[in-house]
A and B are shown apart, each in its own frame.
Chain A
Amino acid sequence: AQKITQTQPGMFVQEKEAVTLDCTYDTSDPSYGLFWYKQPSSGEMIFLIYQGSYDQQNATEGRYSLNFQKARKSANLVISASQLGDSAMYFCAMREGHGSSNTGKLIFGQGTTLQVKP
């Protein structure tokens, strides 16, 4: 069963505007981590931001922030002040664990392609 869902195959945003990329997840493990990665057209996978299941505050990294709503099991990525270089595919990922054993399996959603318009 798919554990990570990204419902937006493609998104457009105007340069300098903010955009939200959706991600929902499913796990019964109380301890987990959520990650966002960016994959530009060159193909490499670039880590952007991380949120732990026990973190009280939403994670932020520069123009990236993660809107973590634990009860709704969502971890949306917000990119503020979009730039042309933000055009890429974005993947949400979840690290599952087994409590303290933390076996660390990392699974990805299907991805969202973001295009920033000048």
Chain B
Amino acid sequence: DAGVIQSPRHEVTEMGQEVTLRCKPISGHNSLFWYRQTMMRGLELLIYFNNNVPIDDSGMPEDRFSAKMPNASFSTLKIQPSEPRDSAVYFCASRLLLTGQNLNTEAFFGQGTRLTVV
């Protein structure tokens, strides 16, 4: 199993540019999370999907951020336009969500994308 795959691993962009982060969850997982990690704010949940449907996007900072999950094997997080304060490590994680039961499976994380906006 290749695990959760994120691309790119590192991204340096100029302020005002559009940035797209990509995530391929583990095959068979039906729940996907996007997190942002900074020194000041820790690990923040931005948005999560269950069965490709966005469930909670209350953590998305503002309208400049958008996320999509067109199918079970791919998700994107887009920032347009990017700003220096968006600089952070962005993690994607996936897990197998079993509804109707009190069963818990852990979330598996990708290696993260380190975004620097200059």
Contact = CB atoms under 8 A, between A and B. Distances in A.
A102 B45 contact: no
Nearest to B56: A105
B31 A44 contact: no
Interface in A96-117: 100-111
Given A45-B109, A50-B106, A111-B42, A102 B91 contact: no
Contact of A109 (B42, B104, B111, B112): B42
Range, interface on chain B: 20 to 34
Given A45-B91, A104-B31, A106-B107, A91 B43 contact: yes
Contacts, number: 65
Interface residues of A, number: 26
A106 B48 contact: yes
Interface string B77-96: 00000000000010101010
A12 interface: no
Contacts of B97: 102, 104
Contacts of B100: 100-102
B114 to A, nearest CB: 8
A40 interface: no
A107 B31 CA distance: 14
Interface of B: 31, 33, 35, 42-43, 45, 48, 50, 55-56, 89, 91, 93, 95, 97-102, 104, 106-109, 111-112
The 6 closest A-B pairs by CB, nearest first: A33-B104, A45-B109, A47-B106, A108-B43, A110-B42, A104-B97
Given A53-B102, A100-B99, A102-B101, 7 more contacts: A45-B91, A45-B93, A101-B100, A103-B55, A103-B56, A105-B56, A111-B43
9 contacts: A45-B93, A102-B98, A102-B102, A104-B31, A104-B48, A104-B95, A104-B97, A105-B48, A106-B95
